[in-house]
Amino acid sequence: MKFWIACLILVTPLISSAHARLKMSAGIAPRTSDAGLKVGPCGNKPKQANPPTLNAGDKITVTWEETINHPGRFEFRFSTDGDVTWSTPVTIPDTQDGGGLPHQYSTELTLPSMTCTNCTLQMIQVMTDNPNNPSNYYSCADFQLVQSNAPTPTPPPAVTPTPSPGGSEDCSMAH
Ligand SMILES: [Cu+2]
């Protein structure tokens, strides 16, 4: 009995410090599995070196989990300049309140339509238990973007075709 009480005392603070975190999404790994980061924009976690490369403007499925239940919402933003400026958030309501934890979520997001070597996906859990003083948890993942629809290289100058005598084409080599 004393053993179990000791366990509860040890484990409870760890669990109650965790709230929400990004999961691996479209090959992008979160900076940390820590779900208890209270400092924005990314919990003081440094950017990852050589993050994966995705195509600018693509739609990706982002997955995350809520490890401690709170009313509120999840906000997603992108930075294309190394966590300095952020896009207008896409907001997903917290729709799961009962059942077992963690609550699993996913949504489709459109990547920024520009190239970058230091892009960030940020997820903010906005908890509205006290609507006048919401409190946040942060989770970030790093990636790079290249243009998938880059313009094709300028073709070499066209060579004016020589009309074949008689106007008929020899198609014997065309197969
Ligand atoms: Cu909490």
109-145 pLDDT per residue, tens: 999 999 999 999 999 999 999 989 999 999 999 999 9
Give the residue, 106 or 6, on which the prediction is more confident: 106
Ligand 1 being an ion, which residues bring their Cβ within 5 A of it? 68
Which comes out higher in pLDDT, residue 161 or 104?
104
Q: What does the pLDDT average to over 15-41?
A: 91
Interval between CA 140 and ligand 1 midpoint (Å): 19
Tell me, in angstroms, the distance from the centre of ligand 1 to residue 172's CA.
Answer: 76
Distance 23 CA to ligand 1 centre (A): 19
Q: What is the pLDDT of residue 161?
A: 73
Residue 16 backbone dihedrals phi, psi, to 5 degrees: -75, -10
Instruction: Please give the helix or strand (H or E) that residue 53 lies within, else none.
Output: strand 53-55
- In the prediction, which pLDDT does 163 show? 66
- pLDDT classification of 85: cutoffs 50, 70, 90: very high
- Of residues 157 and 87, more confidence is placed in 87
Give the pLDDT mean for 145-168.
70
Helix ranges, the chain (H): 2-16
**How remote is the CA of residue 133 from the centroid of ligand 1, in Å?**
14
CA of 26 to the centre of ligand 1 (A): 28
The superfamily CATH assigns to domain 18-149 is chitin-binding protein cbp21 (2.70.50.50)
Residue 52 CA, ligand 1 centroid: distance in Å: 32
Cβ proximity of 117 and 81 under 8 Å? no
The alpha carbon of 35 and the centre of ligand 1 are apart by a number of angstroms equal to 11
Residue 32's alpha-carbon distances to 5, 80, 92, 95, 156, in angstroms, are 30, 20, 22, 25, 49
C-alpha 166: how far from chain center: 62
How many angstroms separate the alpha carbon of residue 37 from the centre of ligand 1? 12
Q: What is the pTM of this model?
A: 0.76
Where is pLDDT greater, at 7 or 159?
159
pLDDT of residue 170: 44
> Is pLDDT above 70 for 12?
no
